[in-house]
Amino acid sequence: MQIRKRTTADWPDAMQIRNMTPADLPEVLQLWNGCVEAGEVLYLPLTQESFRRKFAAGPSREPENLLVAEAENRVVGFLHGVAPGAAPPARPDAAYLTVILVSPACRGKGVGRALLHAFLESMARRGANTLMISGANPVSLEWRIPGTPGHDHNNMPGADVSCAGYPFLLRCGFSVRAREVALYGDLSAWSPSPEAAAAREHLRGEGIETGPYDPSGNCDFDQMCTNVGSEYWRDVLRTEIAAWKAGQPNADPRFWADGTPPRGPRTLLTAVHEHRIVGFTGPVDLQQSGRGWFTGICTDPAYERRSIATVLFDLLLQAFVREGASFCSLFTGWESHARKIYEKAGLRPVRRFDLMSIPANLSSVSRTLQEKTG
């Protein structure tokens, strides 16, 4: 990327927006960890090695994904993003903003806008017509769950509305497309729900069996995934059931806790009716942090409002406790029905995240940012 020099009255003298180099890493880490220590962001602290693993490998390795702002021979800003179609589940027409940080002494001087302007220009040349902040970004950032004894979650579904940079995003033209809530449950004193147990018996009376899935049953799951409209759930079930039949760990890294292969096939909790899977959750796994890990929970729309999700989630928490999990955390829609299920099971809301985007032509947005900062 061509180095850009700006000398406007609002920006630090002779500021440069350029690709990050290995020599910038100590200053970028100082900026990152300073924001973490000040409580301005929920991210975990980074070391040189963890930074390289997160940002300098895989879909993040392209130089134009890593930008710094330099003024007076020091790094005063950092941006990371991902180009369109870099890796699943990224959209082929969308770029993704992962993080943007500015030194406290240089805030309000256009540094953040200059970084964003340069990234937008670059992504427009790559064919992006929108810039998103969402869980579809293939680069996920771990974050510390507030109000807990150091417990963390492995990704963010959008922008943290309580972080220091959220108002900046709104001023730059990002709009809110959806809202999600992060929920947290301490499993140290959790106990199964009698109501969920009664609902499970009621489902059994209707011919719907809930519990660990027996792969030898060869139950159909495609109909549920088609009804839900989710290829993701289809892939989860297909790969984990194949792992059971082969007696091998799931080979798809999208479904690995902590980014490492599981020890072997993992438990899937399902609701089965007439040889069809009509609801499921799992696979059940345990992260090194003590978090109970799973990909999500799904119910066939034709079987909703029967308490299937309530039963499956209660069984999931029971499985977490047996695995030795100390806590559970997840995301769901801010006003979704699932939120009521999770909160009734004992989870509490800890943070709101907004899925955001600049839905206009990136070149025009970039010009607008330049005008506002120039």
Instruction: Tell me the pLDDT tens digit for each residue of 40-87.
Output: 999 999 999 999 988 887 666 777 899 999 999 999 999 999 988 776
Q: What is the mean pLDDT of the chain?
A: 90
| CB neighbour list of residue 254: distance below 8 Å, 6 or more residues apart | 88, 235
- The pTM is what? 0.87
What is the structure's pLDDT at 98? 96
The 10s digit of each residue's pLDDT in 332-360 is: 999 999 999 999 999 999 999 999 999 65
Is 4-181+355-373's fold the same as 191-345's? yes
Tell me if 94 sits within 8 A of 35, measured CB to CB: no
Tell me if 131 sits within 8 A of 120, measured CB to CB: yes
Q: With the C-alpha atoms ordered 227, 230, 231, 232, is the resulting torsion angle positive or negative?
A: negative
| CB neighbour list of residue 352: distance below 8 Å, 6 or more residues apart | 160, 161, 162, 179, 180, 181, 182, 334
Q: For the chain, which ranges sit under pLDDT 70? A: 1-13, 58-60, 87-90, 359-374
Question: Hey, what CATH topology would domain 191-345 get?
Answer: Aminopeptidase (3.40.630)
* 102 three-class SS: strand
Tell me if 228 sits within 8 A of 301, measured CB to CB: yes
As given in the structure block, the two tokens for residue 361 are 């032509």
Tell me if 118 sits within 8 A of 83, measured CB to CB: no
Alpha helix (H) residue ranges in the chain: 25-37, 48-55, 111-125, 166-171, 194-205, 222-228, 231-246, 308-323, 337-344, 362-373
What is the structure's pLDDT at 259? 82
Dihedral angle over CA of 161, 162, 164, 166, nearest 10: 10
The 10s digit of each residue's pLDDT in 4-13 is: 444 334 455 6
End-to-end, the C-alpha distance of the chain in Å comes to 20
Q: Return the CATH number of the domain spanning residue range 4-181+355-373.
A: 3.40.630.30
Return the domain boundaries, the chain: 4-181+355-373, 191-345
As given in the structure block, the two tokens for residue 37 are 């220590």
